[in-house]
Amino acid sequence: MADLFEGYPVEVAAAAAWDEVFDAAHRPREVYTALHDALQPLSSSDLAARKIALDRAFRDAGITFNLFGEERPFPLDLVPRLLSCDEWDVIERGVTQRVRALEAFLDDVYGRADVLADGIVPRRLVLSSSHFHRAAHGIDPPNGVRAHVSGIDLVRDERGHFRVLEDNVRVPSGVSYVIENRRAMTRVFPELFSTHRVRPVADYATHLLHALRAAAPPEVADPTVVVLTPGVYNAAYFEHALLARQMGVELVEGRDLSVRNNRVTMRTTEGDHPVHVVYRRVDDDWLDPLHFRPESMVGCAGLLNAARTGNVTIANAVGNGVADDKLMYTYVPDLIRYYLGEEPALDNVDTFRLEDPDQRAHVLDNLESLVVKPVDGSGGKGIVIGPQATEAELVELRARVLADPRGWIAQRVVKLSTSPTLADDRLGPRHVDLRPFAVNDGNRIWVLPGGLTRVALPRGSLVVNSSQGGGSKDTWVLAPERVAPEEAALLRRRSGLTQAVAAGPDLGPHSSDEQQQQQSEQQNQQGGGLC
């Protein structure tokens, strides 16, 4: 029987990256020992059979996404990614700290603007951001939260350190795959859950609903929450529908909503029904035709005015994109020090600001060795990886940078860590990243244990985005010890949640042409809209 890991050390050495499973001596790291021992006896035919079962489960559940105009199942690799409780503690602390700083920045930049007056962030940077909306100035969310859901993208560098690659506080997507990946893995690899204590992810919708209800106007005792989707042609429609179903709220489109006297209602078979919180999955530009794109058929006219009067809460808030502009990302460590008086728990990837003449000159002299990104890009679109680019591509890039230095940043090429991934009939190293999701209810920032591990399926590729053909892995955060029933009850009381917190392996949740074009187009503009 062929070894599933045959040839793996040679490929890892060629990748020159940190490997998630094996150390430099090709010994399984401690956190992976049990998983390695479980996989080792399996044959390639065993893995192939489980892969077929996994793909069938995804097709049957309709877990798909749109890639280059084709609806296809989202690839899930059989080998999970494991994080020890110590590793997760650092990530959780760093993500929470970052979200707190970004929340403070958004509150400030749409209010007193002290951060600009104090020179921490250049005023011109904010005013020149295409995602800074003056229409959002002066809107005070009922509980002060603007980023109800955040997705912070992390990579592990060559030394094994986690670094922040970018922030997503507009409409971060991908959490549905975290939930469905776990459910599928419990069916295909049930024996692994008996040898690992994996922290659950199935209660994400409970935390999200709690945060959304907490954001309702204060005079509303029993708020109505809806999920606003662009429609069935949007690449993330599956996620919109899943979250609405799991939260037990209505999934609506713009045509289902109306605004009269600055109050939002949705049409039902029993007449118009008041709406108090809109968890929108529609980009700012398409959300309200009165303020943004007048031709929008997927938004709701008057929604922003209703939010300004305090009759409805929009989650995430309009204008959040100014905080996850990729040039603003370079200032986040300064924002952490300015607002929180703390040192960042997670470092940024080394980044150059191309509007700075000296940094721009350095980058233009070294384009072939750097990654250059458009500040407004998402889903991996527009990124040029210098070592993999042709001479013609670099010449074109140079011209585009010189024409609009504000529109670009450059980063050193980080050799993203690798993880064993089924390729053909054996396991090969493929590069991965990680998107943890944070939910802010105004009192506490809760980080979903694990998040979405994205994997670049072609050998050697560093582009992990699903919109560029990437796949995913189930991400397991291992619990330190069994949680006693008394402690679990205490955690529930502290979190304010009414649904029980699972304490064992997560078994998953129990639970016109122009318009079509708009649904797809607006998705492409979302920061992190395509995971």
pLDDT digits (tens, 9 = 90+) for 382-392: 889 999 899 99
Q: What is the mean pLDDT of residues 82-111?
A: 97
From the number of C-beta atoms within 10 Å of its C-beta (0-12, 13-18, 19+), residue 498 rates as exposed
Model-level pTM? 0.89
Question: 456: burial class by Cβ within 10 Å (0-12, 13-18, 19+)?
Answer: buried
Are 417 and 159 contacting, i.e. CB atoms less than 8 angstroms apart?
Answer: no
Amino acid identity, residue 36? H
Residue 368 has pLDDT above 60, yes or no: yes
Q: What is the pLDDT of residue 453?
A: 97
Look at residue 495 in the predicted model and tell me its pLDDT: 43
> Which residues are paired to 440 by β-bridges?
445
Q: What is the pLDDT of residues 413-455, one digit of tens each?
A: 999 999 999 987 789 999 999 999 999 999 999 999 999 999 9
SS3 of 193, please?
Answer: helix
Calculate the average pLDDT of the chain: 89
Q: For 366-410, where are the alpha helices, taking DSSP H only?
A: 391-403
Q: What is the mean pLDDT of residues 339-345?
A: 98
The pLDDT assigned to 508 comes to 41
Does the pLDDT of residue 531 top 70, yes or no?
no
Averaged over 197-210, what is the pLDDT?
96
Query: What pLDDT, on a 0 to 100 scale, did the predictor assign at position 424?
Result: 78
CB burial of residue 44 (10 Å; 0-12, 13-18, 19+): middle
529 Cβ partners below 8 Å, 6+ apart? 170, 171, 173, 235, 236, 283, 378, 379, 523
- What's the order of all strands across the beta sheet hosting 149-156? 347-348, 162-168, 149-156, 437-440, 445-447
- Considering 44-48, 124-128, 489-493, the range whose residues carry the highest mean pLDDT is 124-128
* Residues β-bridged to residue 505: none
Handedness of CA 360, 364, 367, 372 (dihedral sign): positive
Compute the residue count for the chain.
531
How confident is the model at residue 67, as a pLDDT? 65
Per-residue confidence (pLDDT) for residue 519, from 0 to 100: 54
Mean pLDDT calculated for residue range 239-249: 96
Rounded CA-CA distance 220/311 in Å is 9
Mean pLDDT of the region 70-95 = 91
